[in-house]
Amino acid sequence: MTFFLRFVFVYALMSLVLSANVFAQIDETSVTNNSDQDIVNYTSDFFSRYQVNTALEMVRRVPGFTPDDGGNLRGFGTAVGNILINDRRPSTKQDSPSAILGRISADLVERIELIRIKVRDIDLQGHIQVVNVILNENAPATIRWEVQVRETVGTGTSPGGSISLSDRWGTMEYNVGADFRWAKFGDPATIERFDGDGVLTEIRTNVDNADGPTTNGYFNSSSWLGKTFLTFNSRIGLENRDILFTIDRISQIPGEEPRQELITTIRRNKRLELGFDAERSLNENLLGKAIILYSLLDGDPLVSQRDLDVNGGQTRFQLEDEKFSNSEFIARLETDWSGFSGHAIQTDFERAENILDNSQIFTDDTGAGPVVINVPGGNTRVEEVRWNIQVQDSWSLGQFDFDAGLGWESSTISQMGDSILERTFSFIKPRAIITHSARQGSQTRLRAEREVAQLNFNDFVSATVFEDDDVALGNPDLHPDSTWVAELSHERRFGEVGVVKITGFHHWIKDVLDLLPLGATVEAPGNIGDGRRWGVILETTFPLDKFGIDDAQLSFNARWQDSTVVDPVTRINRRLSGEGGFRGDVGFLNENRYAIDIDFRQDIEAARISWGLGIAERDERVRYKANELDIFNEGYDMSAFIETSRWFGIKLTLEGSNLLDHLVERDRTVYVGERSLTPVQRRELRRGFTGQRIFFRATGSF
């Protein structure tokens, strides 16, 4: 860790020095800053070197910008991402802005604006910056297509593809499309189990194979109806996936025979999302917008475990038959008023309703016939009705821009079924942002804000975890955690692609949502008290021409953070639990100490060839349970790609990830009673390799 911190510090210092040396050499041919430094414009010519085929590829090449489709904050207004299309955020949550841009051909993009403070009627919604994709108004009909194949070494082939049409019908502009992917992947591993004295008692070999198609259809449209601008977004999707998890258990205890477990999951999910908004100028100073959004996820998974003896005879059969329906309905009204000179005042009114219906039947058959087992919390209905009101104002004073707002939220959560409970919460949510633009290409930003997280309704429902011989209990008494955020960032841009951005943050979290012990050996998602999180993020992109590598650039992103909360079991301070399980990828954001992501790219525009290398690594993640300590480590990931558009305007890409097939580990320690306070009952060490993944893509438009 010490080496890591020193490396980040030295790299940040070098970045600032190098940016100062080349800051004056700004090429204005395809990148322009307006006089107020509010917007950096990237014309379509800027992206030609990258052989982009879609609007999403263009957004990903904007220097110093990382697309964000929205987080887990509540409702629509606070969960939107940092991507706009023609000054407007898409009225969607499931069909992400990135997915919409992926269906739009790059030929339809006029320019991309990088917006760093509020301009026109565009609100950053708490983001440091947003991109605004401006489409050509009178572009001809365009069909964009993609065919891809993913080969996972040792597992199998996953084909897929997509097609979309962008066109105009009368006054309506629309995009209609569909995509398809046949998923085939595996997760083989070996698990060594030790007793409390460290003696090897069992060796397990796991083979995980998943197979099945996923299809989606989309329709997005916009049109003027008189003086009202109307937008409609929709998505429908089907996911069919069969997963077979084979576990061979070989006992190391004399006299015990080998046995086998077959865990089968049959997943059938249906998705639907409909979004509609209407925008109109009510008078010369007042703009109004109404949004209606409905989404539905419906599924009926079937999970079973069959235990076999050494001769293949069945000794036990467990079955979990579940049906669920998760829906959200949002109605929202926004107004922007510019009646005060130099001020932009925005008001938001929102009502949201979330409903989860879950039914579950669990049976256990040890030879005498199936017996119904009651799983507390498996049959439940959870409803939340939430109201949100917010007022904010934006104004400028010389080199300073200010954004201040105050919001109020009230929500009622009720639960029926295995648990009957109703609770009401309310939150005051202030926000203040100060932005200082001292000179061209330099900006400093201070943000203070209170955020309220969105509850995951699945945390209210219990589920069986067959592979761990455990039950993940639901908790009917959950309530949202809230966070006071303090954030200071400084950004410096130079040349067409150069950028250095450093962000320091400190979070004060009330009612941390983690794993709450319900007994010595049982836990459920719950609020465990107050905690803190703090750290620093460094993001840089540098052109390498000065180092003798023409048309190349190096991107380096690093994050270090720490956190603290009082452990509800040991009553001593520890860091926050990490998210996810042992199937996670090497991600940049998570509850761990650090993450590094380095990418090299060279675009040889004359030859129409691009290639690059990347490496990413992150710290281990820890899950603190009542009587267990789980440590997950995905190691590092190395990737490479080469692509060309030399033939017929078709872009061909060959890409590899996990090229060194990094080791994925899980260290699970189970205690007799409370974690770290009682003797160790057993320890399991899981080691596996997910296999190199090779992608081939062909994309084009006509």
Residues 6+ apart with CB under 8 A from 262: 244, 245, 246, 247, 305, 306, 308
Give how many domains the chain has, as a whole number. 1
> Distance of CA 251 to CAs 9, 263, 310, 685, 687, Å?
50, 19, 11, 15, 18
Residues 6+ apart with CB under 8 A from 341: none
Whose CA is closest to 95, among 269, 213, 292, 233? 233
Q: What are the tens digits of pLDDT across the range 683-693?
A: 999 998 888 99
Sheet holding 31-33, edge to edge: 31-33, 39-43, 109-115, 130-135, 83-85
Ranges 146-150, 247-251, 587-591: which has the least confidence: 587-591
394 Ramachandran zone, left/alpha/beta (phi>0; psi -120 to 50): beta
Q: What pLDDT score does 583 carry?
A: 53
Q: Domain of residue 61: give its range.
A: 2-701
> Is there a contact between 538 and 528 (Cβ–Cβ < 8 Å)?
no
Q: What are the tens digits of pLDDT across the range 467-503?
A: 877 788 888 888 899 999 999 999 998 888 889 999 9
Q: What pLDDT score does 340 carry?
A: 86
Q: What pLDDT score does 344 carry?
A: 87
**CATH number of the structural domain spanning residue 35:** 2.40.170.20
The structure tokens listed for 574 are 């520890």
Ranges 84-93, 185-194, 293-302, 396-405: which has the least confidence: 84-93
Query: What number is the average pLDDT over the span 193-197?
Result: 95
Q: Give strand ranges (E) for 116-187.
A: 130-135, 142-152, 156-169, 172-186
Query: What number is the average pLDDT over the span 48-54?
Result: 88
Q: In whole angstroms, give the CA distance from residue 461 to residue 253.
A: 37
> Is there a contact between 565 and 508 (Cβ–Cβ < 8 Å)?
no
